């Protein structure tokens, strides 16, 4: 299942489209990949994070910069490849390569939320990520 949000093609202060993705890596882990303008910042930056639900899924048991401890597979590969750019500006070449790698994440993790354009500036809520995790097939 893919949830999709898109603003009316408004451009950010950069000529590169802002994005915000939440991938359900498994039933308990969400991997977030963002390129967006935070608050009153003048331009977008790149960031990743991971979140792990507690067992009743009422909160996170761990979240934020815990990727090296909680990710595996394609998500871990993406994190290791791009972590050096965390909270940095991107060149157009880096941006395009990251977008290509996100397409690989979409194939590896078909349960995701995607926000593009100005909509990407708004966080994906805990409850939306919880709903997303429920779409992941049980074993």
Strand stretches in 42-87, DSSP E: 45-53, 60-64
User: What is the pLDDT at residue 116?
Assistant: 95
User: What is the pLDDT at residue 13?
Assistant: 35
8 has pLDDT over 80:
no
- By the 8 A CB rule, do 132 and 3 touch? yes
Listed by start position, the domains of the chain span 2-134
- Tens digits of residue pLDDT in 26-80: 999 999 999 988 877 778 889 999 999 999 999 999 999 999 999 999 999 999 9
User: What is the pLDDT at residue 132?
Assistant: 94
User: What is the pLDDT at residue 139?
Assistant: 66
- Tens digits of residue pLDDT in 77-124: 999 999 999 998 899 999 999 999 999 999 999 999 999 998 998 889
Q: How many percent of the chain have pLDDT more than 90?
A: 71
């Amino acid at each position: 299942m893919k949830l999709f949000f898109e603003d009316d093609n408004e451009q950010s202060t950069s000529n590169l489209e802002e994005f915000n993705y939440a991938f359900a890596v498994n039933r308990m882990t969400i991997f977030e990949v963002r390129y967006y303008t935070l608050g009153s910042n003048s331009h977008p930056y790149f960031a990743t994070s991971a979140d792990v639900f507690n067992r009743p899924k009422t909160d996170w048991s761990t979240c934020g910069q815990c990727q090296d401890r909680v990710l595996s597979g394609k998500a871990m590969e993406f994190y290791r490849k791009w972590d050096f750019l965390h909270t940095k500006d991107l060149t157009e070449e880096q941006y395009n390569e990251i977008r290509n790698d996100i397409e690989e994440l979409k194939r590896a993790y078909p349960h995701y939320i995607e926000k593009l354009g100005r909509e990407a500036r708004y966080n994906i809520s805990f409850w939306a990520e919880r709903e997303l995790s429920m779409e992941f097939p049980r074993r």
